Amino acid sequence: MSQLHVTTKINGDETEFLCEAEDTLLDVLRDRLGLTGTKEGCGTGDCGACSVAVDGRLVCSCLMLGAEAEGRDIATIEGMATGDQLHPLQQKFIEMAALQCGICTPGILVAAQSLLERNPDPSEEEVRYWLAGNLCRCTGYDKIIRAVMETAADMRRAS
Amino acid sequence: MRYEAPRRLEDAVSLLAGQDGAHVLAGGTDLLVKLRSEMIEPEMIVDIKRIEGMREIAAEDGGWRIGAAVSGAEMGEHAGLVADWPGVVEAAGLIGSTQIQGRATLAGNLCNASPAADSVPAMVAAGARVRIAGPNGMRDMDVIDVPQGPGKTALERGEFIAFVWLPARGEHSSDAYLRFIPRTEMDIAVVGCGISLSLDDGDRVTAARVSLGAVGPKVMLVEEAAEAITRRVLDEAALSDLAAACSAAATPIDDKRGTIDFRKHVAGVLARRAAVIAAKRAKGETA
Ligand SMILES: Cc1cc2nc3c(=O)[nH]c(=O)nc-3n(C[C@H](O)[C@H](O)[C@H](O)COP(=O)(O)OP(=O)(O)OC[C@H]3O[C@@H](n4cnc5c(N)ncnc54)[C@H](O)[C@@H]3O)c2cc1C
Ligand code: FES
Ligand code: FES
């Protein structure tokens, strides 16, 4: 079977790749494009480690085919920092030790960014519900939630 | 496996009709899980998201036409739809996490034909219909007639749902959906209940539709439950009769997530609570 040729935008860059029809977007990102920041925890939509934004909408890249990316605008964790300048969420996660092994972290950062873009002043409950599809085996969540709340507060003060 | 993303409805129909083992792809939140676990081995996947109109929510015949590729998140952001059918929107909004919401569709939830599908009882209570595209043109079907049992639908070869249609919402009318799950998020319904009702000026129920999910092989419309509250004010006696009718109608299984008795009881409790919420909404109160 011949491979599919897909043209898409990833973190603002025009990108082309070849993939098999059954490859997920996660397979493509990691194995064909070398963007290994996006993680695979489960492959079944349960853990959120594979979170990316597609046309501004948060999705699990393990539940989307690479072929579906044609003409779309995809944002991954690799696009979050600006050069050497970490995104405020990334900076805060380090400061507050909101990560341990780090497998869940890219997905949580991408998901949290998507929340703050929509809602700069979320309640703790809103943060917890928004991130309910992002599992973490290490931290117990508390530091993650606090880091997101504090980042939101910092970003509101800065704007 | 081939992947096709046609732009025209007719092309999708001929692809689906012309190939054994062709599967429709909407949000993929069921299909991709099955594909990855090799529960299905499709010859072809027909992605319907690029077909014109599939991603639109549009007013039609006083109600709303929801394209088969509209996600739960998009429904929740549509003020007109939320105002008319808050119960359907909240049911779709219970499907999975934020990430799943970004992709999951009503028609996908319906065609996956799980007895526990959350949006289906809400659509049944709403009296929703679907428009089906197929080799012989378009036909309409009530949502309740689509699932035929776990994993089975009434759709024939080459057919797929083009959109879901929710009827016009009259004055003093609203709906609600509640489910019971052992956790607070990300779980499969043990019982689900959808209620749509209309009230007169004296808060008497003039019309109602009550549905139950996850307590039988497919969604059920419980006419005795609707009858139990019609022409009555929703006082304690009416709500008790409603709950009793739902408990009696439920035919659940016994498993580790709930015994038969528990599920029957919960069906009544949810119906009572959903009726109160729907009535509040119908009166214009927030609930
Ligand atoms: C982590 C996770 C959590 C979930 N939680 C819930 C939950 O709480 N409640 C719940 O009800 N479900 C849940 N689901 C299941 C799933 O998300 C829903 O059933 C969803 O609505 C499916 O929609 P989809 O568009 O993604 O369907 P798809 O996966 O694209 O399709 C599902 C099935 O329907 C067929 N199909 C799709 N669209 C059409 C169409 N227009 N015409 C004909 N056939 C079609 C497909 O061929 C496939 O067989 C969950 C899934 C995951 C992965
Ligand atoms: S890897 Fe996609 S949700 Fe777990
Ligand atoms: S830090 Fe290890 S899974 Fe979250």
Same domain, A75 and A93: no
pLDDT at B191: 95
Domain count, chain A: 2
Same domain, A94 and A33: no
pLDDT at B35: 95
Range of the domain at A51: 4-79
Within 10 Å of residue B58's Cβ, how many Cβ atoms? 10
pLDDT at A26: 98
User: Whole-model pTM?
Assistant: 0.96
Q: Is A55 on the interface with B (CB under 8 A)?
A: no
Q: Which atom of ligand 1 is nearest to the CA of B71?
A: 25
Domain final residue, candidates A22, A45, A79: A79
pLDDT at A1: 60
Same domain, A68 and A13: yes
Distance in Å, CA B79 to ligand 3 centroid? 37
The dotted CATH code for B2-166 is 3.30.465.10
Q: In chain B, which residues have pLDDT < 50?
A: none
CATH of the domain at A9: 3.10.20.30
Q: Where are the alpha helices (DSSP H) in chain B?
A: 9-17, 31-36, 72-76, 79-84, 86-93, 98-101, 106-111, 119-126, 223-229, 236-249, 260-282
Same domain, A61 and A98: no
pLDDT at B188: 86
Same domain, A75 and A95: no
CA B230, B232, B235: angle at the middle one, nearest 5? 125
> Which amino acids bring their CB within 6 angstroms of ligand 2?
A 40-43, 45-50, 60, 62
CATH class of B173-282: alpha beta
Task: Give the 3-state secondary structure of residue A45.
Answer: coil
| Residues on chain B touching A129 (C-beta within 8 angstroms) | 98, 185
| Residues on chain B touching A45 (C-beta within 8 angstroms) | 29, 32-33, 96-97, 99-100
CA B106, B110, B112: angle at the middle one, nearest 5? 115
Q: Is A59 on the interface with B (CB under 8 A)?
A: yes
pLDDT (tens digit per residue) in A7-33: 999 999 999 999 999 999 999 999 999
Domain final residue, candidates A79, A97, A114: A79
Q: In chain A, which residues have pLDDT < 50?
A: none
Instruction: Provide ipTM, 2 decimals.
Output: 0.96
Interface test with B, best of A4, A39, A42, A65 (most B CBs within 10 A): A65
pLDDT at B184: 72
pLDDT (tens digit per residue) in B76-98: 999 999 999 999 999 999 999 99
Q: Is B40 on the interface with A (CB under 8 A)?
A: no
pLDDT at B100: 98
pLDDT at B230: 98
Task: Locate the chain A residue with the closest alpha carbon to B32.
Answer: A63
Same domain, A73 and A14: yes
Report the amino acid identity of residue A7.
T
pLDDT at B182: 85
| Residues on chain B touching A134 (C-beta within 8 angstroms) | 97
Q: Is A17 on the interface with B (CB under 8 A)?
A: no
Domain final residue, candidates A31, A61, A79: A79
The domains of chain B are located at: 2-166, 173-282
pLDDT at B159: 98
Contact A110, A52 (CB under 8 A): yes
